[in-house]
Structure 1
Amino acid sequence: MPRPKVTRAQALAWRLRRQHLLDGAADPDEVVRTLGMLAIFGSDPDLAVRRRLASPGPPGEVQRALGEGRLLRTWARGAVSLMEPATAGRFLVIRAAGRQWARKSWVEFYDLQPDDWPDLREIVRGVVADGPVPPQAVADALARSRRFAHLAPQFAEPNITLLKPFSWQGDIVLGPGLDGPMLLQSPEATRGWRGLPDLAEAGRAAVLDYFAAYGPATRADVHHWLGDGLSAGRSRVERWLDDVTDRLVEVDVDGEKVWHAGDLVDQLLETEPAGRVVLLPGKDAWVFGPGTKHTWVVPPATRQDMTRGVAPIVVDGVVSGTWRVGDDTLHTAWLDEPSATVAKAYDAEVARLSALVGRELTPSG
């Protein structure tokens, strides 16, 4: 059977639609579930989500969803990520697979053996079950424990490095407030939390979810998402990829061999280039899902800006410049002078952005 052929413009147009950047999703839950993980620090998750809604409400959609337990935020990648509770366990169990807390350096520094963790986790879970609570509440409980009293200062500070494994093992998530002091609570406080699934099951599901949102893609792209991002380990990712090969189809994208979700290939073949300009916040999933080395999306001339978290101007899926708002002025820096067609699409996107931020923005120049 011949390999299906599409152009890169078609592939990126399909991805734009799949990530709700053309038609819009029904609610924030759907957006976050599709994208998997959204960066919080150095980004604007509310703008990232509201730009993807068919009928966005006023600013604060993400905060409202967090307050209602429809989304959660916790450590998965290096920093805090926004996730949908029903699928969050997949990413957390993958991140926990490396058992960082069992390394010799951890054991010696924290005076904490791997077999101490079940008892320690039970104490922590008991405290946050009444959450949201400040980390000091956990410190107070540990101070009363003969075995773990020496760890109380680590929670009182708090030591983020030590908190992360409790997140990865499904014991804690951060409180629902995006602003204010740090609070901890149980993931059970969120709707749809299903606990941590079997690792292999989670890995296979995460691979398929990646192709469904970020395809067509290469195996290297999946390694970036789960290996570099979650420290899953190369052999594990390769095994999960092999396990789901029968659900993937090899596709030719302008001569490059890539893979796509088998049940979505017909959609891909029917997709036409979108002719759309999109203004996204820095560190948006559009860029960070495939990674800043992914030249389909990030030309080399823009990679440094994208790594730093500068907000991108995306034209037909490709980063074509950057933008920022100063007062009510929208300042842009284009790689190349936009064509008349792109300029018209850009004007429409500026109007959309103005509506999202609640004030009229005047483009500079």
Structure 2
Amino acid sequence: MRLTWDQVFAWRLRRQFVAPRADGVAEIVGRLCGVQAQVTSAAEMAVALRSSAPRAGALVDELNNGTLIKTWAMRGTLHALEPGLAADCLSLLASARTWEKPSWQRTFGASPDEVTALTEEVRRVLDGAVLTREELVDAIVADPAYHRLGEQLRSGWGALLKPLAWQGAICHGPAQGTKITFANPAQSIKGWPGIPEPDVAGPRAITAYLGAYGPATPETFDAWLSRGSLRKTVLRRWFSELGDTLTQVEVEGRPGYVLTEHLDDLATTEPSTAVHLLGGFDQYVLGPGTNDTVLLPGDHRAKVSRAAGWISPIVVSAGRIVGTWDLTDDVVLISMFDNAPLPKGLDTAVTHLATTLGRNSLLVQAQ
């Protein structure tokens, strides 16, 4: 089957609840395969912009009551996820065993045996407890065996804790003021299924991903999940084992897989002419990746994927990224690529942004 990118982008906008929007926070987070939550306000906006009745703090409320989990997941970054998919993705990330690579050991100063021991120690320390980072690290380094790891454990990047998260030993708990906390997901997350075997988790994670970001290749899935860390033979086997569940299609010369159940819907999707304003770190661009030059022109990538991993808020027109935006007081500053004029339909997107932010109105200014 041959499809056009206009069809694919319109289908993705609908599948990702950009339009029409959805009712529940968990439904949105589940469909998106998680929302990046390095910046909490960006995660809240990703959900609110897709909500039919946006509410301030709705995502954090779901995290605090254990309906969703916040943990280091895709690409080693913090995400808010539905527990079942989180367990599947963590299983796949753990299967890459990145902490056993010499380069990782040189950078973070812990051997594989030390990571194994630290995993069990953290399970012990967090048993029945929710601790701030300071409390957790103090409890760990009370054992002289972990003294030299104290600096890495206190790092805000959490590099030494990520392998523990991927093995299901630790996740984020409810914040205490400005302080983050950590908990054991088996005790703090409702319906936590535990970490499955990778061969069970792989096909489920692929199915979930294609349901929002298809058509896609195994390589695109791996780039989204692990920055290419999974074994290629295993990855291809998981795709193969899905059998008739998947169908290979061609989009203007580019092959990719979709869920067979979505074929008819994709084939009958009409292109969208709507304009949308999506926030920073939005899954619409993170799902397929900023290297997708059909979605995001390569000569403008640096305006979206910026220094230190920052992802700009984006202007989307007809499904393609055509600019970036920023908010200063009550003014939306729009920067269109190639100095293009502001797109027709922008007013509707700005009105929706104002509603999402609880503002009566917002002004627009081209940069």
Calculate the TM-score normalised by the size of structure 2.
0.88
The aligned runs of 1:80-95 (5 Å cut-off) are 80-95=78-93
**1:190, distance to aligned residue in structure 2 (A):** 1.4
State the one-letter code of the partner of 1:280.
Answer: L
Bigger Cα displacement from structure 2, 48-57 vs 251-260: 251-260
User: Secondary structure in 2 aligned to 1:20?
Assistant: coil
Corresponding residue for 2:36?
39
Query: How many pairs does the alignment contain?
Result: 357
State the one-letter code of the partner of 1:203.
Answer: G
Q: Which of 69, 72, 75 in structure 2 is aligned with 1:75?
A: 72
Corresponding residue for 2:192?
193
Corresponding residue for 2:24?
27
5+ long unaligned stretches in structure 1: none
Report the Cα distance in structure 2 between the residues aligned to 1:113 and 1:363, rounded to whole angstroms: 53
Bigger Cα displacement from structure 2, 252-261 vs 111-120: 111-120
Corresponding residue for 2:297?
299
The aligned runs of 1:144-155 (5 Å cut-off) are 144-145=142-143, 147-148=145-146, 150-152=148-150, 154-155=152-153
Bigger Cα displacement from structure 2, 67-76 vs 129-138: 129-138
5+ long unaligned stretches in structure 2: none
User: 1:117-165, CA deviations, whole angstroms, 9 ceiling, x for partnerless residues?
Assistant: 5553232112223332023333343345464455455545677221111
Query: Closer, same or farther in 2 for the Cα pair 1:96/1:24, shift >3 Å?
Result: same
Q: Which of 270, 278, 290 in structure 2 is aligned with 1:272?
A: 270
The aligned runs of 1:324-363 (5 Å cut-off) are 324-335=326-337, 337-338=340-341, 342-343=343-344, 345-359=345-359, 360-363=361-364
Query: Closer, same or farther in 2 for the Cα pair 1:268/1:113, shift >3 Å?
Result: same
Cα pair 2:14 2:20 within 8 Å, conserved? yes
State the one-letter code of the partner of 1:286.
Answer: Y
The aligned runs of 1:77-226 (5 Å cut-off) are 77-104=75-102, 114-115=112-113, 117-145=115-143, 147-148=145-146, 150-152=148-150, 154-155=152-153, 160-177=158-175, 180-188=178-186, 189-226=188-225
**1:20, distance to aligned residue in structure 2 (A):** 0.6
Query: Closer, same or farther in 2 for the Cα pair 1:338/1:347, shift >3 Å?
Result: same
Report the Cα distance in structure 2 between the residues aligned to 1:282 and 1:161, rounded to whole angstroms: 23
Query: Closer, same or farther in 2 for the Cα pair 1:106/1:361, shift >3 Å?
Result: closer
Cα pair 2:76 2:226 within 8 Å, conserved? no
Cα pair 1:227 1:233 within 8 Å, conserved? no
Corresponding residue for 2:57?
60
User: 1:100-120, CA deviations, whole angstroms, 9 ceiling, x for partnerless residues?
Assistant: 333456668888654555553
State the one-letter code of the partner of 1:347.
Answer: D
Cα pair 2:173 2:182 within 8 Å, conserved? yes
Corresponding residue for 1:10?
7
State the one-letter code of the partner of 1:18.
Answer: R
Q: Over aligned residue pairs, what C-alpha RMSD do you find?
A: 2.5
User: 1:313-361, CA deviations, whole angstroms, 9 ceiling, x for partnerless residues?
Assistant: 001210011111111111111225458xx42x21111101001111121
Cα pair 1:139 1:154 within 8 Å, conserved? no
User: 1:228-276, CA deviations, whole angstroms, 9 ceiling, x for partnerless residues?
Assistant: 16x2232322222222243211223234333211011111112111221
Report the Cα distance in structure 2 between the residues aligned to 1:300 and 1:100, rounded to whole angstroms: 29
Report the Cα distance in structure 2 between the residues aligned to 1:268 and 1:167, rounded to whole angstroms: 36
Report the Cα distance in structure 1 between the residues aligned to 2:11 and 2:231, rounded to whole angstroms: 29
Query: Closer, same or farther in 2 for the Cα pair 1:252/1:148, shift >3 Å?
Result: closer
Query: Closer, same or farther in 2 for the Cα pair 1:302/1:158, shift >3 Å?
Result: closer
Query: Closer, same or farther in 2 for the Cα pair 1:259/1:102, shift >3 Å?
Result: closer
Calculate the TM-score normalised by the size of structure 1.
0.89
Report the Cα distance in structure 2 between the residues aligned to 1:40 and 1:182, rounded to whole angstroms: 13
Cα pair 1:72 1:190 within 8 Å, conserved? yes
**1:178, distance to aligned residue in structure 2 (A):** 9.2
**1:310, distance to aligned residue in structure 2 (A):** 1.7
